[in-house]
């Protein structure tokens, strides 16, 4: 078993390259199921979640090879369409194979993804939308059993903006008969990357990036060859790492237009930013000013950067109020931050963060992917040594984050520890 050990207090300086976006790669990998062919996805990050969905597709009969940052997928010979519990429970995003399998094969059996640390994570909107498109949906023994001779276009309004819900229905609509209109659809850049991929495959899609998507279904699609967009959450995490250590860092390859809400908040803390065609640079202020943050669907402040921002604001000169509106239980990292000396009071979905002059290193436990990043950032700024346990959470969504931080000057390393520590 591994943990990450950090000796804090070093200012980060230099340049770092952002990887491809996990949350864009996963739906685009699933989209290759729509069409028997040989597909190429470029700029695919090397992450545990990518390995998990690749294993899932290989179980269906997809042949997958990697050459550098490109993933080649041969989806001409699907043997079956069952996504087993033991894989789905390790990654909820496995639900993304439901729409494409149902659209291509007319049937799919996918384990219901359980909840996770941050919330119940229901998939009712996915199922409601597919049923509206003519699918027969049954829930048996913890599995979703879906069938449809051919899905038909529908005018569907989501009860709540859902990223993977929008992505599942987008993919299903690509092979449906007629036109599908999705209202209250998610607008995230990762959804837009999927829409661009489906367009490459021959779909007529309008409205990507808006809450109203219109998709003309096709009987046949083309092979997919597309670049995965840069990971805005990794980029934001690296920018916050610079700000929390009082450093100056340039994150190469990220797109400022995908980071608007975070950049506004970083500027409000007093950080100085420079946005160029190939990335964003940040210089930390002498003393961080407090700011209030409310997470919202894109283009609002991303819930996936809330924990990292809380680590930063734990050291601001004053009180910040952070409200998490997307997930019902995404403040688990506050308990571990308090063990490092942070002064945070939680009331429901709101955390009142009173900045302290310094954090103390400690052994802390990651509860979920972004909480693990938050604790790493806190460790970078804390006095003495911090050990972040359960680093497998981090490796689900960050490509060698410890190595990238070390290259920027952090005193950080992976350490093997006894099992069950
Ligand atoms: C995606 O999850 C991301 N994952 C999450 O990133 C991200 O935090 C989330 O969107 C919000 O931006 C991937 O893209 C693989 P939602 P998703 O459906 O699609 C409720 C990370 O750290 N809801 O947009 O599962 C839900 O409970 C991960 O990289 C329903 O009620 O999130 C939540 O309150 C974590 N019914 C809200 O909608 C549904 O059928 C938004 O969830 C679906 C969702």
pLDDT tens digit string along 16-69? 999 999 999 999 999 999 999 999 999 999 999 999 999 999 999 999 999 999
Question: What's the fold here for domain 22-227?
Answer: UDP-n-acetylglucosamine1-carboxyvinyl-transferase; Chain (3.65.10)
Closest atom of ligand 1 relative to the 125 alpha carbon: 40
φ, ψ (nearest 5 deg) of residue 4: -110, 130
Q: Which residues pair with 274 in a beta bridge?
A: 281
The answer to whether 156 and 177 are in contact (CB under 8 A) is no
Cα–Cα distance for residue pair 66/60, rounded to 1 Å: 18
Name the residue with tokens 């945070």: 344
The answer to whether 344 and 337 are in contact (CB under 8 A) is yes
Q: How far is the CA of 325 from the centre of ligand 1 (A)?
A: 12
Q: How far is the CA of 297 from the centre of ligand 1 (A)?
A: 9
Closest atom of ligand 1 relative to the 120 alpha carbon: 27
Residues in the chain: 421
Name the residue with tokens 């894989």: 87
Closest atom of ligand 1 relative to the 167 alpha carbon: 19
Q: How far is the CA of 183 from the centre of ligand 1 (A)?
A: 17
Residue nearest to atom 5 of ligand 1 (CA): 304
The answer to whether 408 and 17 are in contact (CB under 8 A) is no
Cα–Cα distance for residue pair 126/33, rounded to 1 Å: 18
Nearest by Cα to 379 from 266, 262, 287, 241: 241
Q: What is the pLDDT of residues 233-255, one digit of tens each?
A: 999 999 999 999 999 999 999 99
Which residue from 294, 326, 332, 395 has its CB within 8 A of the most atoms of ligand 1, so it is best to mutate?
326
Give the single-character DSSP code of 254.
-
Q: How far is the CA of 119 from the centre of ligand 1 (A)?
A: 9
Name the residue with tokens 């449906």: 176
- Give the SS3 label for residue 304: helix
Provide the terminal-to-terminal Cα distance of the chain, rounded to the nearest Å: 8
pLDDT recorded at residue 119: 87
Q: What is the pLDDT of residues 306-339, one digit of tens each?
A: 999 999 999 999 999 999 999 999 999 999 999 9
Tell me what percent of the residues of the chain surpass a pLDDT of 90. Answer: 96
Closest atom of ligand 1 relative to the 127 alpha carbon: 40
The answer to whether 1 and 388 are in contact (CB under 8 A) is no
Residue 244 CA to chain centroid, in angstroms? 22
For the chain, the domains span: 2-19+230-416, 22-227
Kindly state the average pLDDT of the residues 150-156.
Answer: 97
Give catalytic status of residue 116 as yes or no: yes
Cα–Cα distance for residue pair 251/264, rounded to 1 Å: 16
Nearest by Cα to 274 from 239, 224, 223: 239
Cα–Cα distance for residue pair 306/118, rounded to 1 Å: 12
- What is the reported pTM? 0.97
Residue nearest to atom 39 of ligand 1 (CA): 123
Cα–Cα distance for residue pair 125/127, rounded to 1 Å: 5
| CATH number for region 2-19+230-416 | 3.65.10.10
pLDDT recorded at residue 421: 60
Residue nearest to atom 22 of ligand 1 (CA): 304
Q: How far is the CA of 162 from the centre of ligand 1 (A)?
A: 6
Cα–Cα distance for residue pair 80/127, rounded to 1 Å: 20
pLDDT band for position 120 (cuts 50, 70, 90): confident
Bridge pairing between strands 343-347 and 350-354: antiparallel
Contacts of 317 (CB under 8 A, 6+ apart): 287, 288, 289, 290, 355
Closest atom of ligand 1 relative to the 298 alpha carbon: 12
Which residue from 121, 139, 193, 302 has its CB within 8 A of the most atoms of ligand 1, so it is best to mutate?
121
Q: How far is the CA of 421 from the centre of ligand 1 (A)?
A: 31
Nearest by Cα to 371 from 296, 328, 310, 307: 307
Bridge pairing between strands 363-365 and 204-206: unpaired
Pocket of ligand 1 (CB under 6 A): 22-23, 26, 93, 119, 121-126, 160, 162-165, 190, 303-304, 326-327, 369-370, 397
Are 2-19+230-416 and 22-227 equal in CATH topology? yes
Residue nearest to atom 25 of ligand 1 (CA): 164
Q: How far is the CA of 191 from the centre of ligand 1 (A)?
A: 12
The catalytic position among 116, 203, 254, 374 is 116
User: Residue 420 pLDDT more than 70?
Assistant: no
């Amino acid at each position: 078993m591994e943990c990450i050990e950090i000796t804090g207090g070093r200012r980060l300086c230099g340049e770092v390259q952002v990887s491809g976006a996990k949350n864009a790669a996963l739906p685009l990998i699933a989209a290759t199921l729509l069409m028997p062919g040989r597909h190429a996805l470029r700029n695919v990050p090397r992450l545990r979640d990518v390995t998990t969905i690749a294993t899932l597709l290989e179980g269906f009969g997809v042949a997958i090879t990697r050459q550098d940052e490109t993933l080649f997928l041969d989806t001409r010979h699907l043997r079956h369409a069952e996504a087993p519990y033991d894989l789905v429970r390790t990654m909820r995003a496995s639900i993304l194979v439901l729409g494409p399998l149902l659209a291509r094969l007319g049937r799919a059996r996918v384990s219901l993804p359980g909840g996770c640390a941050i919330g119940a994570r229901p998939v009712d909107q996915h199922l409601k939308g597919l049923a509206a498109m003519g699918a027969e949906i049954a829930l048996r023994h913890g599995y979703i059993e879906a069938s449809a001779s051919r899905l038909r276009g529908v005018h569907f309004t989501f009860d709540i903006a859902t990223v993977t819900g929008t992505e599942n229905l987008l993919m299903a609509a690509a092979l449906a008969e007629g036109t599908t209109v999705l209202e209250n659809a998610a607008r995230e850049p990762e959804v837009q990357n999927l829409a661009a991929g489906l367009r490459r495959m021959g779909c007529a899609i309008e409205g990507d990036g808006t809450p109203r998507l219109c998709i003309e279904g096709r009987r046949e699609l083309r092979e997919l060859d597309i670049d995965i967009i840069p990971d805005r959450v990794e980029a934001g995490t690296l920018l916050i790492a610079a700000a929390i250590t009082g450093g100056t860092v340039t994150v190469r390859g990220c797109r400022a237009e995908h980071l608007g809400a975070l950049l506004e908040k970083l500027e409000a803390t007093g950080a100085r930013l420079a946005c160029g065609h190939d990335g964003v640079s940040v210089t930390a202020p002498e003393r961080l000013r407090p700011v209030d943050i409310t997470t919202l669907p894109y283009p609002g402040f991303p819930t996936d950067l809330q924990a990292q921002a809380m680590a930063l604001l734990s050291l601001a000169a004053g009180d910040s109020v952070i409200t998490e509106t997307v997930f019902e239980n995404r403040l688990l990292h506050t308990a571990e931050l308090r063990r490092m000396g942070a002064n945070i009071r939680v009331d429901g979905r709101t955390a009142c963060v009173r900045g302290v002059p310094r954090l103390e290193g400690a052994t802390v436990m990651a509860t979920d992917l972004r909480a693990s990043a938050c604790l790493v950032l806190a460790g970078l700024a804390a006095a003495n040594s911090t050990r972040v346990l359960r680093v497998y959470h981090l490796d689900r969504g960050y490509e060698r984050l410890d190595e990238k931080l070390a290259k920027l000057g952090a005193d950080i390393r992976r350490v093997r520890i006894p099992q069950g520590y």
